[in-house]
Amino acid sequence: MRGYLIAGNWKMNGSKAANAKLTREILAGWADTASVRLLVCPPYPYLGILAETLSGTPVALGAQNVSQHASGAYTGEVSPGMLKDMACEFVIVGHSERRALMGESSDIVAEKFAAAISAGLRPILCVGETLEEREQDRTEAVIDEQLDAVLDRAGIEAFDSAVIAYEPVWAIGTGRTASPQQAQDVHRHIRSRLAARNAEIAEATQILYGGSVKGDNAAGLFTMPDIDGGLIGGASLKAGDFLAIAAAAASLG
């Protein structure tokens, strides 16, 4: 039983006051549910405050990025150990915005993923194709390359704790969602790619879908057999929207 994970990627949004309100509303509207876990990933400066607010609650804390280095002269970077120290359980690695805007290659993503695992964090590895790649029928090839870089470096055993998020780039922040069947096809492919290395780990690995998930399309996606929750951008910034997605998962759990 994999259960659902509903993860909010707040990206570079929020403030002390806005985050306090959002967190208060999420906590007030959420009852601990065995089949669904909630996670929020605020910007770095707010991790300390969120760690205190969320301590002892059913909502987990994660970061949006991490350095591949443990310490040293890397101005502006944040190490996996620091995130662990700030009570993060999860960290997003390889988000398409970082791949595209910050030039993170699959090798760098794999280094970050391995460093996160070594520090005891649970990485959420984002993979996904652009519209052009989909139209050229290269979706699976692109995902294989992104996934294999991590599997080759960190090993399949890392997926005892790691999570994967399939996020078609064309669906992120665009209001355009993959259909449940389109998403399921890719999730199935990802799971079989993991299964080629270890069937038991593949079966237990949570694979989230991300890309314009909202309260009204969440249940259709989560009902698919290989979709184990969502990585939510825009809709994670409003408690009501985020909770509606979580409620959709809970209704299926």
211 belongs to the binding site for ligand PEP (CB under 6 A): yes
Q: Is-contact 146 156, C-beta < 8 A? A: no
Q: Which of 14, 42, 80, 233 binds ligand PEP (CB under 6 A)?
A: 233
Q: Is-contact 233 191, C-beta < 8 A? A: no
Q: Is-contact 213 172, C-beta < 8 A? A: no
| The one segment of 132-140, 146-154, 156-164, 204-212 that binds ligand PEP by CB under 6 A | 204-212
The CA distances from residue 119 to 52, 85, 198, 203, in Å, are 21, 10, 23, 24
Give the residue numbers marked as catalytic. Answer: 95, 167
Q: What are the phi and psi torsion angles at 34 (to 5°)?
A: -60, -35
Q: Which of 48, 58, 120, 173 binds ligand PEP (CB under 6 A)?
A: 173
Which C-beta is closer to ligand PEP: that of 91 or that of 156? 91
The site map against ligand PEP for 59-98 (x = CB under 6 A) is ----------------------------------------
The token pair at 150 is 């991590």
Give how many residues touch ligand PEP by CB under 6 A. 13
Sign of the Cα pseudo-torsion (88, 231, 130, 222, in order): positive
168 belongs to the binding site for ligand PEP (CB under 6 A): no
Residues interacting with ligand PEP, by CB under 6 A? 9, 167, 172-173, 210-213, 231-235
